[in-house]
Amino acid sequence: MKMQLLQVIRLVMFLSVLSGGALMAQDQAFQIEISSDSVYHGNVFEIRYSAQNISGSFEPPSFDGFDVIRGPNQTNRMQFVNGVTSQSSSYSYVLRPTEPGVLFLPPAFYVTDEKTWETSPMEIFCLPNPEGIEQNHFLSDDNQAQFPGWFGGPQVQPPAKKKKLKVTKI
């Protein structure tokens, strides 16, 4: 009984080391996506920071010059395909510039035990909006197809209720 338990523990340890090695063998990246680098004053845009195959902690930039409308929204994904493990984490924000002009987003950081990853600073152009044009920019998301209407996608109407027929027994 003890021998079987010891063999199971060894097998679990071996598989965990093997899967951790597969994770480290994948390409690692920390990147930034932005829905638009130009926005009319009073409108919003979305920014997403993504870490692929990195385990660590996210440190957002200061959002001076912007109102944070929504965020941080965090998404974590893990995938096992043919014995290869990959993972990603993303952090998204919806921001609104506080005033027209050229605004700067400083870099964000992703800190691991071995390395500190850094994004490039971003330049955002906020244009005056005397006509009050409404133009909201969002990044596309796989979840829009799975959950329509939840993430700004098209609304799906529920099927119409069928009328019940009144049955009279004779």
Q: Render pLDDT for 49-60 as a digit per residue (tens, 0 to 9).
A: 999 998 889 999
Radius of gyration over alpha carbons of the chain, in Å? Answer: 24
Edge-first strand order for the sheet with 38-40 is 38-40, 122-127, 101-105
Among 51, 75, 68, 95, smallest CA distance to 147 is for: 75
Q: What is the per-residue pLDDT for 81?
A: 87
Bigger pLDDT: 163 or 37?
Answer: 37
H or E element: which one contains 109? Answer: strand 109-111
In CATH terms, is domain 28-146 a member of 1.10.1760?
no
Question: Residue ranges of the domains in the chain?
Answer: 28-146
Q: What is the per-residue pLDDT for 144?
A: 45
Confidence of residue 165 (pLDDT cuts 50, 70, 90): low
Q: Which residues contact 126 (CB under 8 A, 6 or more apart)?
A: 38, 39, 40, 41, 97, 99, 100, 101, 102, 103
Give pLDDT tens digits for 43-88. 999 999 999 998 889 999 999 999 999 989 999 998 888 888 889 9
Average pLDDT over residues 24-48: 86
Residue 45, burial from CB neighbour count under 10 angstroms (0-12, 13-18, 19+): buried
Give pLDDT tens digits for 99-152. 999 999 999 999 999 999 999 999 999 999 888 888 777 776 544 444 444 444
Question: In this structure, what token pair is assigned to residue 25?
Answer: 């063998």
Q: What is the per-residue pLDDT for 44?
A: 92
Average pLDDT over residues 11-32: 61
Confidence of residue 2 (pLDDT cuts 50, 70, 90): low
